[in-house]
Structure 1
């Protein structure tokens, strides 16, 4: 019998994915400011780490995998064995270009990552964010994504590639940016690099009916021949369950999301009760949606060969 693909370690028994993202860095500080009105300078790094570890403890039992970053929490997560057996750790290896309070403008691979140590930690996957634009840097970003996928494969780790489509300054000024077309164009360009899992935005920002969002998501499915999931950035938490259902009906296998899951806990002095009750219930409900409507990873026709040959 062939060994299972590396991506299987991130999945639920149904072959779908209900994964929590807790890899936001300065963006998490910005979210805290937005939800509490606090002074940005008063939000210490230790607070960001503590929140992420609370997310891991309270939501990990209901997730198939959890994504975290090295700067805020990864070492403690691993050393204290915070995640339960059924929740696989994913490490973000993207070095972010980001002004305080602003969006991520570009990324690169973190040159300080020690892959041998990451494997020894029991981490099952790495994640790379790519900020995709119709600009002069497309070839460089594609080469970066290709290098990331190869690096993961050589290390025996699953690769989670996350292109996020953004407008160029010219498109923004002219009002010509088409989110749905850009998501599809990015997928057509980068999914053929064959990451273990392709993570992308929800069409229409998750606004609309299940049928209308699914019709747009089918365009993504037509050009992605590896398992794919959606993220929640830009989608209102109340819209996200409908967005996940629509994407899954169109061929997606689930989600890797943060903001739609745990932002309710940001204003609380103690986030744990909110995470344990309201946020965990939301995650469980989303898990039922992906189990009901998502495509199991093993039903993705192209998910075979080179990765299986190197899986452990």
Structure 2
């Protein structure tokens, strides 16, 4: 059966802004739960202490976060490993919030939770569309000594898979250090990744904030404008690498420079990890953070449109 393709309007707010939530973190989220900063008897605080974190802990958190936050988000990104099926089965995504399937498989190694990412062949585009997804997302690890040919080939294949199922395609290139150990400029890598991968047909580009959001308004706005100029599609920013309290400013500056919004997780719900009363923490901390971000993109997009 031929189905009409989705477009970015399925992930947008009435303002046209994209205000999307990410709950697709996997082993990185497990590590967040594993951090234990309980004080020693003498009052000192030890370093992180790893403890066992079962899969159900992640699934329960992701499902609760989606239920509490998607009434305010225009889209939500979920992973097959821990929560996509649960969100669908429990109807945890609010009406009007577009469901995005993470179509990547993370490869650990070399002391990194994610040293590489590949297309997850177990995420079938037609199946996730039947389950209610309107888009898929692919993480791309960009390293200066990696293969540009391999990265571009993977992105092209991913975009084609999305098109065949009528799904919006979202790519998420992230800048990482070279395996060779050579000197590396993170922000330069963000721009190089955009120039390499930003013209391959993806419907939306999810990028890191240059300078980690740390710099003057003029500096960040200029770097973001340079990033946007390298892309052939609309783009949004992610929150990893930016302090949560600084992220609204980073989003505003990025949108002033041409971004269409955000697709973020940590800046919204990170403070709720391990909370004794998760529902209360989401309601009192995460919801206000998300609503503030929504207001930022609505106001900035409206100002640009005016």
Could you say whether these structures have the same fold, taking a TM-score greater than 0.5 normalized by the shorter chain as the test?
A: yes
Is the counterpart of residue 26 in structure 1 residue 33 in structure 2?
no
Find the counterpart in structure 1 of residue 43 from structure 2: none
Q: Whose RCO is larger (CA < 8 A, sep 6+)?
A: 1
Aligned to 2:41: none
1:222 alignment counterpart: 229
Deviation at 1:53, TM superposition (A): 0.5
State TM-score, norm by structure 1: 0.88
Q: 1:4 to 1:123 in 2, by over 3 A?
A: closer
Decide whether aligned partners of structure 1 residues 63 and 107 sit closer, same or farther in structure 2, where only a CA change above 3 A counts: same
Rate the CA distance shift 1:91–1:101 in 2: closer, same or farther, 3 A.
farther
Q: Does 1:206 align with 2:213?
A: yes
Q: In the alignment, is residue 234 of structure 1 matched against residue 241 of structure 2?
A: yes
Cα distance per residue 1:187-209 (max 9 Å; x no partner): 11111012111001000001123
Q: Does 1:55 align with 2:65?
A: yes
Unaligned residue ranges in structure 1 (runs of 5+) = 300-312
1:164 aligns with 174
Superposed CA offset, 1:209-243 (max 9, x none): 32221111111011112110000111110110111
Match of 1:135 in 2: 145
Write out per-residue CA displacement over residues 133-154 of structure 1, whole angstroms, 9 at most, x where no aligned residue: 1124221111001100111011
Alignment map for 1:241-252 (pairs within 5 Å): 241-252=248-259
Greater helix share, 1 or 2? 1
Q: CA RMSD in A?
A: 2.1
Q: Is 1:14 matched with 2:12?
A: no
Aligned-partner SS, 1:294: helix
Consecutive unaligned residues in structure 2, runs of 5 or more: 39-47
- When residues 295 and 199 of structure 1 are mapped into structure 2, their CA distance, relative to the original with a 3 A threshold, is farther
- Contact 2:137–2:169 under 8 Å retained in 1: yes
Shift of 1:101: 7.3
**How many aligned residue pairs are there?**
293
Deviation at 1:35, TM superposition (A): 6.1
> Deviations 1:171-200 (Å, cap 9, x if unpaired)?
xx44x3122221111111111012111001
Other-structure match for 1:93? 103
**How far did residue 165 of structure 1 move?**
0.8
Distance in 2 (alpha carbons) for counterparts of 1:207 and 1:116 = 41
SS of the residue corresponding to residue 169 of structure 1 reads: coil
TM-score normalised over the length of structure 2: 0.90
In 2, the alpha carbon distance for the partners of 1:123 and 1:85 equals: 12
> For residues 294 and 5 of structure 1, do their structure 2 counterparts lie closer, same or farther at Cα, with a shift above 3 Å needed?
farther
SS in 1 for 2:140: strand
Shift of 1:115: 2.4
Cα separation, 2, equivalents of 1:145 and 1:103:
22
Tell me, yes or no, if structure 1 residue 125 matches structure 2 residue 135: yes
Paired residues of 2:6 and 2:134 also in contact (CA < 8 A): no
Q: Distance in 2 between matches of 1:246 and 1:110?
A: 34
- For the Cα contact (< 8 Å) 1:60–1:83, is it kept in 2? yes
